[in-house]
Structures are given as structure tokens and as C-alpha cells.
Structure 1
Amino acid sequence: MKLYIYEHCPFCTRARMIFGLKSLPVDLQVIMEGDFETPTRLIGKKAVPILGKDDGTYIGESLDIVRYVDDIGAKILVMPPDEALGTWVQEIWPTALKLFIPRFVEGDFAELATSQARKAYRHREEQAFGDLDLLRGATTALIAEVNPRLEALATLLEDRKGLGINDITLWPVLRCLSIVRDVNFPNKVSSYMHRLSQESGVDLLFAQSR
């Protein structure tokens, strides 16, 4: 199977995680930013991730991909949904976006390997978020919102064992935030992040923090 991704994308990270957690082989294919032709040819629109199945068909939504792959062999996402964790992700998402998007534009990702691709990505994100330099200037205030939420998350993770769909939606957000230098990850959250990084084979972004 082939998985078409952006390296920075949290939705692509969901799909990458399930392959790693299940130790299933997959051929990762990075789509360059600004490449409209490839995803449109595969699923009719510009969106990733895209899973190319062995039968020649394609799946184009991250959680649909996760569920398809988890159905291969014994399921591993067996923990029941945790409403509190789901709410946590929904509530932090708007603030987290404003922190990691300006940094992704500066990041070292294969889909941004050319100046043309990086320019296309900046243009796309500035259409959604406005001037990214101004957004970068709001870092202190945004981190002041995020850090207490991470403290609350540590409590939610206190007794978590096993894997469920919440891990697939939560961990990619934490991975994205790991590119933000001054975010404070409590020990319980940090341990969770590093454990799932090791189990899934998907890197965290601390090495690129800025």
C-alpha cells in the first residue's frame, strides 16, 4: 500500500501512526506543496492523506484510513472513546493552530523542499490565518493559553492504558505543538508523547523547535 502525505500534517500523522502501531509496511509518498494534480487525480480534490490500496482504489479521509488499517488483522484501537479527551482536542485546536502553523512554514519538511513549494504553503496558510509574522508575534499570549490546558491533559492521561481512537486524534496535535519552543509539556504528557512516538515510529518535532 502507498500512503500519500505531507510530513507536517496532523491528519497525515494519524494515518502514519496506525501503520506504525500495527507494524504494517507502507510506502510513504510525500506530495509537494502546490501539487494539485496528484491528489486531484487520485481522489478528485487536493487533500491528504490518501491511501492507495493494493486493489488500486484510494481512501482519502484520515480516520477512514485509520479504521481500514485497524481492520487488517487484530484490532489495536480497542479502548472506548473518552469524551473528555475528545473535548480537550477540540478546545485546544484553534489556539494550537495559531502556534504551529507559522512555524511549519519555516520547518524542514520534504513537501517544502523547494522555494516554490514553501511559497505555495505560505500563501495557502496566509489565506486562512492572515499575516503569519503577526501571528508569530502573538506567541507569548498563545502559549499562556496552551500551557494550562496541557496541565489539565496530564490529569486526563493519568490512568490511560491501551490504545483507542482518542490517541489517534490527540497525539498528532501534541506532535504539532512540539515544534513550539516555549510550550511546557508536563512529565505525564511528555512521557505519553515519547512513548507513542517510539511505538508508532513517527518522529516528534522537538529537534525543529523554534
Structure 2
Amino acid sequence: MKLYIYEHCPFCTRARLTAGLKGIPLQTEVILEGDAETPIRLIGRKVVPILQKADGTHMAESLDIAHHLDQLGTPILDGPNDDALEEWVKDARPVGTKLYIPRFTKGDFAELATPEAREAYRLREEKAFGDLEALMADTPALVAAMNEKLEALAPMLEGRETIGISDIILWPVLRSLSIVKDLTFPAPVRAYAERLEAKSGVPLMFNQAM
């Protein structure tokens, strides 16, 4: 099977995390930002992730892919849905995207390997989020707000061992936030993030935090 992705994309990370936790060997292929032809050829629209299944057909939608992968062999996403974690994601996303999206445009990702691809991505995100440099300038206020949210998340993750679809939704957001240099990850949050990193083989982004 093959998974078409952007390396930075939290939705792609959902599929990568599931495959990694399951130990499913997937070939990953990064689609260059600005390449609309490949996804349109595969599924008729420009989205990622895209899974090429064992039978050669293709499917999109990150959670659908996660569910499909989990049904191969013995399912592992057997923990109960945690509404509190999913509500945390919904609440944190508006602040989180303002922090990690501008940094993604400056990050070291294969989909941004050419100046043209990086500029295409910057323009796409600027259209969605406005002036990205202004968002970078707002870092102190945004970091303060997100640090409060991470503190609120900490008791929810203390001693968490089960893995369910709520983790497939939450962990990619924490991975995205790991590119933000000034954030403080409380010990339970950092331990949770690093535990799933180790189990899945999908790297966090602390090494390129900015």
C-alpha cells in the first residue's frame, strides 16, 4: 500500500500514526505543494492524505483511512472515544493553527522542496489565515493562550494508556504544536506525545521548533 502525504499535514499524520501503531508497512510518497495533478488523477480532487489500498484503488479522508487501516488484522483502536479530548482539540485548534501554520511555511518539509512549492504553500495559507508575519508577531499572546490550554489538557492525559480514535485526532495536533519553540508542554502531555512517537515511528517536530 502507498500513502500520499504532506509531511507537515496533521490530517496526513492521522493516517501515518495509525499505520505506525499497527506496524503496517506503508510506502509514503510526498506530493509537492502546488501539484494538483497527482491527487486529481487519483481521486478527482486536490486533497491529502490519499491511501492506495492493496487492491490498487484509492481512498481519501483521514479518519476513513485510519479506520480502514485499523481493520486490517486485529484492531488496536479499541479504546473508548473520549469526548473531552476531542472537545479540547476543537477548542485549541483556532489558537493552534495561528501558531503552527506560519511556522509550517518556513519548515523543512519535502513538499516544500522547491522555492515555487514553498511560495505556493505560503500563498495558500495566507489566503486562509491572513498576514502570516503578523501572526508570527502575535506569538507571545498566542503562546500564553495555548499554554493555558496545554495545562488544562495535562490531567486528561495523566496515566493514559488506552488508544482509540480520540488519540488519532489529538496526537497530530500536539505534533503540529511541537514546531512552536516557546510553548511549554506539561510533563503528562510531553510524555504522552513522546510515547506515541516512539510506538508509531512518526516524529514530533521539536527538532525544528521556531
Number of the residue aligned with 1:207 = 207
Is 2:183 aligned against 1:183? yes
**1:80-91 superposed matches below 5 A:** 80-91=80-91
AA aligned opposite 1:41 = R
Number of the residue aligned with 2:95 = 95
Task: Give CA-to-partner distance per residue, 1:187-209, whole Å, 9 cap, x none.
Answer: 00000011000101000000100
Compute the displacement of 1:25 (Å).
0.5
AA aligned opposite 1:92 = A
Compute the displacement of 1:159 (Å).
3.7
Number of the residue aligned with 2:108 = 108
| SS of equivalent residue, structure 2 residue 29 | strand
CA distance in 1, matches of 2:82, 2:17: 19
Is 2:114 aligned against 1:118? no
CA distance in 1, matches of 2:139, 2:41: 38
Task: Give CA-to-partner distance per residue, 1:137-191, whole Å, 9 cap, x none.
Answer: 1111111110011011111112422210011000000000000000000000000
**1:58-73 superposed matches below 5 A:** 58-73=58-73
| SS of equivalent residue, structure 1 residue 106 | coil
CA distance in 2, matches of 1:24, 1:124: 32
CA distance in 2, matches of 1:165, 1:70: 10
**1:3-42 superposed matches below 5 A:** 3-42=3-42
Number of the residue aligned with 2:78 = 78
Number of the residue aligned with 1:172 = 172
Give me the TM-score of the superposition, normalised by structure 2: 0.99
Compute the displacement of 1:63 (Å).
0.2
CA distance in 2, matches of 1:127, 1:154: 34
Root-mean-square deviation (CA), in Å? Answer: 0.6
In structure 2, runs of 5+ residues without a counterpart are none
AA aligned opposite 1:104 = F
In structure 1, runs of 5+ residues without a counterpart are none
AA aligned opposite 2:32 = M
| SS of equivalent residue, structure 1 residue 3 | strand
Number of the residue aligned with 1:129 = 129
Task: Give CA-to-partner distance per residue, 1:97-150, whole Å, 9 cap, x none.
Answer: 000000000000000000000000001000001111011111111111100110
| SS of equivalent residue, structure 2 residue 3 | strand
| Aligned residues of 2:160 and 2:192 also touching (Cα < 8 A) | no
| SS of equivalent residue, structure 1 residue 92 | helix
Give me the TM-score of the superposition, normalised by structure 1: 0.99
Number of the residue aligned with 2:47 = 47
Aligned residues: 210
AA aligned opposite 1:130 = G
| SS of equivalent residue, structure 2 residue 105 | helix
| SS of equivalent residue, structure 2 residue 4 | strand
CA distance in 1, matches of 2:137, 2:29: 34
